[in-house]
A and B are shown apart, each in its own frame.
Chain A
Amino acid sequence: MTFATKKKYCYFKENGITFIDYKDVKLLRRFVTEQGKIIPSRVTGSSTKMHRQLVRAIKQSRNIALMPFTSSSVDG
């Protein structure tokens, strides 16, 4: 029995993004769960190269309080 799975594509490749800015919270929010955890690339489908960049950007963004380490509902 086979399951029909939707093919995942790298969001960055599709949109021609080559550099991820840590200040672009709007973009980074797509790759983070509600709790603020980074979604693995096997789920998002982003390429390894871009995922490495993405992870770095999210962590930088967390350092400067643009994105939460944990859900905002927890720490108010």
Chain B
Amino acid sequence: MRYYELLYIVNPNLEDDKAKGIIDEIGTEIGKYKVSIINHYMWGKKRLAYPIKNNKYGIYILLQFSADKFDFLKEFERFLILNKSVIRHQIVGLDTEPATVEAVEIIAEDDDSNDEKGFDSPDEDTDIDSEDEEDIEESESEEEIKEEGKK
């Protein structure tokens, strides 16, 4: 018995219902093989570290499952590649059995971690988060300069 974890990114422009439809779609696809699903839930919408197919954001969905044989993975990965709404996926083997989690809890936790407080070394994150603020500041300062110029 081996444990696997599939994390895939779904096109962020999809509506919630459609994203849930994809969870079902992939759930039924993997259900065709001799696999027992442990967890399958939406991890949340996140900003991608780099753009994938011109998408800046992505909906992360996590699927953990166990299987006796792993020869189906090639076929399953092919299905994921051909699926147009899945923009990136990664299957990773796990050493230990993953604990079952309720989806709602995870999404709530995730919202917290997205806050600035959560990061110990927020080098890039502050950059990302403060971009908008900086823009505002810049525009303000520009206005000030203009006003001063007028005076």
Interface, chain A (partner B; CB < 8 A): 19, 22-23, 26, 29-30, 34, 36, 60, 62-73, 75-76
Q: How far is the CA of A62 from the CA of B52 in the complex (A)?
A: 12
Chain A residue numbers with a CB within 8 Å of B90 are 60, 63-64
Chain B residue numbers with a CB within 8 Å of A69 are 49-50
Q: How far is the CA of A36 from the CA of B120 in the complex (A)?
A: 15
State the main secondary structure of chain A at its contact with B. loop
State the main secondary structure of chain B at its contact with A. strand
Q: Pick the residue among A23, A29, A70 that contacts B121 (CB under 8 A).
A: A29
Given contacts A30-B121, A64-B9, contact A72 B92 (CB under 8 A): no
Given contacts A22-B92, A63-B90, contact A68 B49 (CB under 8 A): yes
A34 touching B124 by the CB < 8 A rule? yes
Chain A residue numbers with a CB within 8 Å of B105 are none
**What are 26 sample pairs from A and B whose C-beta atoms fall under 8 A apart?**
A19-B96, A26-B113, A29-B120, A29-B121, A29-B123, A29-B124, A30-B121, A60-B92, A62-B49, A63-B88, A64-B9, A64-B89, A64-B90, A65-B88, A66-B46, A67-B49, A68-B124, A69-B49, A70-B50, A71-B124, A72-B49, A72-B124, A72-B127, A72-B128, A73-B124, A73-B127
B119 at the interface (CB under 8 A from A): yes
Chain B residue numbers with a CB within 8 Å of A65 are 9, 48-50, 52, 58, 88
Which 5 residue pairs of A and B lie closest in terms of their CB atoms, listed nearest first?
A68-B49, A65-B48, A64-B90, A34-B123, A65-B49
